[in-house]
Amino acid sequence: MITLYTFGPYFGLPDGSPFVIKALLLLKFAGLPYKEDRGGFGKAPKGKLPYIDDDGTVVPDSTFIRFHIEKKYGFDFDAGLTPERKVAAWAIEKMCEEHLYWALVATRWLEDANFAKGPTQFFKAVPMPFRPIVQGLIRRKVKKTLKLQGFGCHTRAERDILAIADINALAALIGDKAFLMGEKPCGADATVFAFVASFLTPVFDTPIRTAAERHPNLAAYKDRITRHYFSHLEAEPLPATSAA
């Protein structure tokens, strides 16, 4: 059986990381049995989650997990799509992962109120009085990474403008369809859902969330996939967001 290494559910989402959510959905789309292990971060081959262990074959990175599933199990995530639609789906996926992702990081880690409601939960295992020190170190590292990437060079208002443009594009692309490219999910839906759901969670108060909420089709899209693939979340209340 495949073991998927995850962080676990946070913020009313299947996982705190959109890339782990993507991997979860890819496995579900392919109908492959798997189990989750939430203790693998320290052994992550690339220092990040997700990664899988498939009967001894370790595959890090959500996109390479997809390629592994396609190659080993012969599952075509984009079955039925024209070559042009496959290319479009790939481009949309990369817009989310290489652009919108950085806005998500900035809203959670750079804004004090959102950090207190969200990422502080990741540090509960760190004993006091070391916890604030560790939090500060990690936040400074995240801020430096954002600066080096370029997204962090923008003001908060500028970051929001860029992210909202992405959100509006996703809403227009989905339109009145059930999924991104039609009436059944394709590979890119795993990524698009991960980011739409991550920005719509009520835990974080941001202009990007407000913009997403203006598009009823995005909420319907998120609810549709949640209901079908993560139905257990609908019955669970949002976790407490105390920084204690």
**pLDDT tens across 51-101, in order?**
999 999 999 999 999 999 999 999 999 999 999 999 999 999 999 999 999
Rounded Cα gap, residues 114 and 119, in angstroms: 8
**pLDDT tens across 142-159, in order?**
999 999 999 999 999 999
**170-183 as b/e, with b when 16 or more CB fall inside 10 Å?**
bbebbeeeebbbee
Task: Identify the pLDDT of residue 168.
Answer: 98
Would you place residue 243 in the very low, low, confident or very high pLDDT band (cuts 50, 70, 90)? very low
Task: Identify the pLDDT of residue 125.
Answer: 81
Rounded Cα gap, residues 193 and 114, in angstroms: 21
Whether the model clears a pTM of 0.75, i.e. scores above it, the answer is yes
pLDDT at 235 over 70: no
Average pLDDT value for the chain: 94
Rounded Cα gap, residues 7 and 189, in angstroms: 21
Task: Identify the pLDDT of residue 241.
Answer: 38
Task: Identify the pLDDT of residue 122.
Answer: 87
Give the other-Cβ count within 10 Å of 51's Cβ: 24
